[in-house]
Amino acid sequence: MGEFLNPAFLLEIFNYLVRYVPITIGLAVGTMLLSCLLALIITILRYNKVPLLGKLADLYVLLCRALPSMILLYLVFFGIPILLMAFSGTAKSAMLLRNIPPIAFAVCGLTLHTGAYLAEIFRGALQSVNIGQTEAALSIGMTWSQAFFKVILPQASVFALPLMANQFLNLLKGTSIAFMISVMELFGAASVLAADNNAYLEVYIVAAGLYWTTSICFEKIALRLEYNLSYFKRGANK
């Protein structure tokens, strides 16, 4: 590769790396779904001020928002095996742990990180819904869960969607740290390829381009979704 940024070489790298884009997207989408679930639970706990759990949820959100995702990932990666060992009391489970693929740890760590941010977003979204809505729903005889899922959540989601899309884009970029615990996603593959060929500049330019394109695609999708969902809002304003 004597010349500077050989196009044929770049194309070759592109063909190799593009296969890892689905892994990155899968990791991001999977994590996002799990963190939505986690954040929903956390939000319900905080919203209803459940005695002890509500406080714990507050603490979780506070801590996980203050921690860099890198450190959270390491804590999960080194912590879960030790936790399991402490519970089972033997090193036998440590043998079992070797069979767990590192991607599971990555999903765990990223879920904890994103979940905390989403919980804050959901809290803000719930606050944006007028309290009268809950009261009205309860007064016509809905149960709490009916009121929450049928009345509050759809309205809150309009508020939360742009923020969630933003968080998803952050997460999509955040998946790149998963390579630190040897997950072969887009960035992991890129760093291996770069080291193999001793072509750092070319490989990382292509990797950056792929991330860029993916981000822009998801941004467009999010805008589209936002427009569709704003139907509720537009309907209300008329």
Partner 1 sequence: MGTIFSVEYMIKSFPTLLSLVDVTIIVTVVSDFFAIIIGCIIALTRINKVPILSRLCALYVSFIRGTPFLVQLYLICFGMPQVLGYFGVEDPRSIPGMAYVFLVMSLHEGGYIAEIMRGSILAVDKGQMEAAKSIGMTGFKAYTRVILPQAFRMAIPALGNNVISTLKSTALIFNVGVVDMMRRAELMGSFSYRHLELYVDIAIIYIGLCFIVQFGIAKLEHCTQMKNPAVS
98 contributes a contact to partner 1 by CB under 8 A: no
Encoded amino acid at 41, one letter: I
Encoded amino acid at 112, one letter: L
SS3 201: helix
221 contributes a contact to partner 1 by CB under 8 A: no
- From 10, 14, 21, 15, select the one nearest 218 (Cα to Cα): 21
109 contributes a contact to partner 1 by CB under 8 A: no
Are residues 134 and 108 in contact, defined by beta-carbon separation less than 8 angstroms? Answer: no
216 contributes a contact to partner 1 by CB under 8 A: yes
215 contributes a contact to partner 1 by CB under 8 A: yes
Task: Give helix 186-197 / helix 7-17 axis angle, nearest 10°.
Answer: 140
Binding positions for partner 1, 141-180, rule CB under 8 A: 173-177, 180
Nearer to partner 1, 153 or 180 (CB): 180
How far apart are the C-alpha atoms of 34 and 141, rounded to whole Å? 32
200 contributes a contact to partner 1 by CB under 8 A: yes
Q: Which stretch binds partner 1 (CB under 8 A): 8-16, 32-40, 65-73, 130-138?
A: 65-73
4 contributes a contact to partner 1 by CB under 8 A: yes
- From 86, 173, 167, select the one nearest 122 (Cα to Cα): 167
**CA 193 centroid distance within chain:** 26
105 contributes a contact to partner 1 by CB under 8 A: no
Nearer to partner 1, 112 or 137 (CB): 112
- From 114, 109, 103, 125, select the one nearest 33 (Cα to Cα): 114
CB 158, min distance to partner 1, A = 22
111 contributes a contact to partner 1 by CB under 8 A: no
Residues at the contact surface with partner 1, assessed by CB under 8 A:
4, 63, 66-72, 74-75, 78-79, 82, 85-86, 173-177, 180, 187, 190-191, 194, 200-201, 204-205, 207-208, 211-212, 215-216
